[in-house]
């Protein structure tokens, strides 16, 4: 029999009882941050559920993990704790269970309308790494910058390429993004351009949130790596393409990326995503043994990007992609990250890199969609080569189940002018 909550959940909701993603929120201005899960149009306050003694399993019974201002302590406890919490919450929210359903006072305290809360960063991010795991994106970028003869470097098919990003500039959905300033490539014998970026872009990505880490010097086995991943968020790794193009040789991205990265507020767990697991693409050549998985899987997550141009009321869908286009899997990314002995820690964020599909409408950034500005996008009577001040970008992601969705909500940000 299908799971059903005593809380009415609209069929189109991203947050039915089958999902129960985790976030951190303030129920009212000035109140303390606390963990919650999304259920329909409500946030369930986990600090209240814990205070009422309803987390009564052996792992969570005496834990203060839901009294923290972020999810790091809970995530560090590992998969057994996550499974216990999920089973407890699905039981409490079930229409057959009276403990919460029939306790009006506790319902009043613990169920907060989602439109009343302030969502915060759900984790304290210690480190942020951004991968480059979509073959279609790698091929398109290589063709744009190096030509079609050899668009993807040989190493790309052997190692999950990545760079270390900037954890301090990770912001929650709804935060404005200030247009960065920096240098651009000189033309002819002139000095480099300096000023506001002229090629500001979005990147459609997802991010894996690390749960338990690993000791320094002790890599994570690729077949155990899923136990180190708490869940996924939507991620927009905003990019200043002109700054990036001038600086990235020889050491890679720096100021073109570090000015802002937006994540969605809700972390969807791997347990909630498991019904939507699908085979990952066949990898040729076969990966080295430390990256060879017994089961190599992605998830069928439909992804979409909308742009609302400055001064307009309506958004336009510019991208429809899918998480299943990733060439390197989440678990391969994490295993490769640790193979040199690097220690990951709870709350670390691993971005997938831009997720582009094979068709033009599935390209995951304006660099690809406009082919570096050569083919402007038509948007509600205006056009865009890259983002202009006042433009708002919204990412969404959703898995379609049998009569329910497992979704991520939205990940949005608006571009505001550069500081003088």
Positions marked catalytic: 137
CA 92 to chain centroid, in Å, comes to 28
Residues 4/94, Cβ–Cβ less than 8 Å = yes
Residues 266/114, Cβ–Cβ less than 8 Å = no
Q: Where does 14-116 show beta strands of DSSP type E?
A: 22-26, 34-39, 42-45, 111-113
Closest C-alpha among 295, 292, 265 to residue 277:
295
Alpha-carbon distance of 53 to 392, in angstroms, equals 43
Alpha-carbon distance of 11 to 367, in angstroms, equals 36
Residue 43, helix vs strand vs coil: strand
What residues contact 334, with CB distance under 8 A and at least 6 apart? 208, 210, 220, 225, 228, 229, 344, 350
Cα Dmax for the chain: 76
Alpha-carbon distance of 221 to 289, in angstroms, equals 10
If you ran DSSP here, which 8-state letter would residue 387 be given? -
Alpha-carbon distance of 301 to 317, in angstroms, equals 17
Alpha-carbon distance of 167 to 68, in angstroms, equals 20
Q: What is the DSSP string of 132-176?
A: ---HHHHHHHHHHHH-SSS-S-GGGGTS--EEE--GGGEEETT--
Alpha-carbon distance of 35 to 46, in angstroms, equals 6
Q: Check whether the bond before 414 is cis (ω within 30° of 0).
A: no
Closest C-alpha among 396, 387, 403 to residue 201:
387
Residues 310/181, Cβ–Cβ less than 8 Å = no
């Amino acid at each position: 029999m299908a799971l059903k909550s005593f809380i009415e959940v609209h069929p189109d909701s991203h947050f039915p009882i089958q999902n129960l993603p985790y976030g951190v929120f303030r129920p009212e201005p000035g109140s303390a941050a606390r963990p919650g899960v999304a259920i329909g149009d409500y946030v369930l306050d986990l600090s209240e559920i814990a205070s009422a003694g309803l987390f009564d399993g052996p792992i969570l019974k005496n834990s203060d993990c839901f009294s923290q201002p972020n999810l790091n302590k809970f995530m560090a406890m590992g998969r057994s704790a996550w499974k216990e919490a999920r089973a407890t919450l699905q039981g409490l929210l079930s229409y057959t269970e009276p403990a919460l359903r029939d306790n009006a006072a506790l319902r009043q305290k613990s169920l907060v309308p989602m439109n009343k809360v302030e969502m915060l960063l759900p984790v304290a991010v210690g480190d942020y790494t951004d991968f480059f795991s979509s073959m279609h994106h790698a091929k398109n970028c290589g063709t744009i910058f190096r030509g079609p003869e050899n668009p993807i470097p040989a190493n790309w098919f052997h190692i999950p390429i990545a760079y270390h990003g900037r954890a301090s500039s990770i912001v929650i959905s709804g935060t404005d993004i200030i247009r960065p300033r920096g240098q651009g490539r000189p033309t002819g014998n002139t000095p480099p351009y300096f000023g506001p970026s002229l090629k500001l872009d979005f990147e459609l990505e997802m991010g894996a949130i690390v749960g338990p880490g690993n000791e320094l010097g002790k890599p994570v086995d690729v077949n155990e790596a899923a136990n180190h991943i708490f869940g996924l968020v939507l991620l927009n790794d905003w990019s200043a393409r002109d700054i990036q193009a001038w600086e990235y040789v020889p050491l890679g991205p720096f100021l073109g990326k570090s000015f802002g990265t937006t994540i969605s507020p809700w972390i969807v767990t791997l347990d909630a995503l498991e019904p939507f697991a699908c085979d990952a693409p066949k990898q040729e050549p076969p990966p080295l043994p430390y990256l060879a998985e017994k089961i190599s899987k992605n998830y069928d997550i439909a992804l979409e990007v909308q742009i609302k141009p400055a001064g307009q009321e309506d958004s336009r869908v510019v991208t429809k992609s899918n998480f299943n286009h990733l060439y390197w899997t989440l678990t391969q990314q994490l295993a490769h990250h640790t193979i040199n002995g690097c220690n990951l820690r709870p709350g670390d964020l691993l971005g997938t890199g831009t997720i582009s599909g094979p068709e033009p409408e599935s390209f995951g950034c304006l660099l690809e969609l406009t082919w570096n500005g050569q083919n402007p996008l038509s948007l509600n009577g205006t056009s865009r080569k890259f983002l202009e001040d006042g433009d708002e970008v919204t990412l969404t992601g959703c898995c379609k189940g049998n009569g329910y969705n497992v979704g991520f909500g939205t990940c949005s940000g608006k571009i505001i002018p550069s500081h003088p």
